[in-house]
Structure 1
Amino acid sequence: MASTATAQKSVATSGPEPWYRSRSPSRMPSRALLIATASSVGALVLLVAVGSWWGQTLLIPPLAASISLVTAASATPLGQPRNVIGGQLVSAVTGFLVLSVGGANKWSAAVAGGLAVGVMLVLRVTHSPAAATAVIVALTGPDPLPFLGLLVVASVLLVAVGVINARAARQPYPVYWW
């Protein structure tokens, strides 16, 4: 009985939490944080190195956002291999389709980004950074085959780094492949 009275008293006096207290999840453990950071840097440097070796650009801004999901939000659907590789690929294809109709301009880029979200949702490969890939394609009009090939290689490299990151951090990744 005393414990019930104590519990009621603490609830009554605690009141609502102040507005300035964060309700966000707590920070990752230090070891996991360091591994995720090192893996992210390593992955992006790897893209630059492989791209330089091939004389191509592999590092585009959406891939920096992708590695963030792969290393720091690896348990979410957005960070799974199916979503990273599939989302990037279908978004780029969507960008090329819009580009073929509307040309390389900001209006096409806006339509491509929005349509890419819809296509990813339909195909269940949602990967938010990939919408930006569609925008880049529709803005810049790169040569399709080399761009798609390099994008797939870069996406696979990011997933491989994600697997290494997870092993080092002793975390399960991927949650699912397909």
Structure 2
Amino acid sequence: MDVESVLSRPPGPGPKAPGTGTPARPGAGRRIRAAVLGVLPGSGAVAAALLALAAVGAVLGEPVLLPSLAASAAVLHHTPGLPAAQPRTLVLAHLLGAASGYAVLAVVPGSPWGAAVAAGLTFAATSLARAAHSPACATAVVVVLQDPVPVRFVPLLLGATVVLVLGGYTASRLRRAAPPYPVRWW
């Protein structure tokens, strides 16, 4: 079954949304098939990017798939035209998040209080750098609560963000109807 055949099928029978004339949502089976085949905009690309991060982590024996990167993948593939999804923003914001986390750890031991401060610092730093990307605040929280070794964590984080950007670039080239990504590289 190819992507075009799944997309070209009319939605299953069902009531129209009240007062809109909009067709009802496709049935659960069709939505599951579409998600598995990657037909829903970005769904297969998000899964592929996150699977790539998981595979890299398995090969290296290091956790590379962070919750904040999963959120970044969703932002990138769901809203590829927004400033928050652009490569400069995504990469720089996560690096600023890591730096904020390590800065807090240099002053206080890891704690939920320190994690909250690091997330706030990340928000401020990314705003000042014109690289606002909310998931990077979670990267700061991970750093404070997990205290990963910087010499290993930062290169892995940088590599992971580059994988996400390349995944977004590839997905935008493979989907004919998708807008081009990135809008700007830096």
Normalising by structure 1, we get a TM-score of 0.81
Partner of 1:15: none
- Give 1:139 deviation, angstroms: 1.2
Which one has the bigger helix percentage? 1
Contact 2:84 2:133 in 1 (8 A): yes
* Most deviating of 135-144 and 147-156: 135-144
Q: Give the structure 1 partner of residue 30 of structure 2.
A: none
Deviation at 1:34, TM superposition (A): 2.4
Partner of 2:180: 172
Distance 2:122 2:96 in 1: 7
**Which structure is higher in RCO with an 8 Å CA cutoff and minimum separation 6?**
1
> What stretches of structure 1 move > 4 A for 4+ residues in a row?
30-33
Residue 3 of structure 1: aligned partner = none
Q: Is 1:40 the counterpart of 2:46 in the alignment? A: yes
User: Counterpart in 2 of 1:110?
Assistant: 116
2:70 is the alignment partner of 1:64: yes
Q: Is the 8 A contact 2:38 2:44 kept in 1?
A: no
Q: Percent same amino acid at aligned positions?
A: 40
Unmatched tracts of structure 2, length 5 or more: 1-17, 26-33
Partner of 1:83: 89
> Does the 8 Å CA contact 2:104/2:117 hold for their aligned counterparts?
yes
How far 1:119 moved relative to its partner?
A: 0.2
- Partners of 1:155 and 1:133 in 2: CA distance: 12
Aligned length: 153
| Alpha-carbon distance in structure 1 between the residues aligned to 2:169 and 2:57 | 21
- Which residue pairs with 2:59 in the alignment? 53
Tell me by how many angstroms 1:55 deviates.
Answer: 1.1
Aligned partners of 1:162, 1:64: CA distance in 2, in Å?
13
Say whether the 8 Å CA contact 1:86–1:125 is kept in structure 2. Answer: yes
Judge conservation of contact 1:35–1:165 (CA < 8 Å) in 2: no
- Look up the match of 2:157: 151
Q: Is the 8 A contact 1:32 1:169 kept in 2?
A: no
- Give TM-score scaled by structure 2 length: 0.77
Query: What is the CA-CA distance between 1:49 and the residue it aligns to?
Result: 0.5
Larger Rg: 1
Give RMSD over aligned pairs.
2.1
- Residue pair 2:126, 2:133 contacting (<8 A) in 1 also: yes
The answer to whether the 8 A contact 2:172-2:180 is kept is yes
With over 3 angstroms needed to count, the CA separation of the structure-2 counterparts of 1:39 and 1:103, relative to structure 1, is same
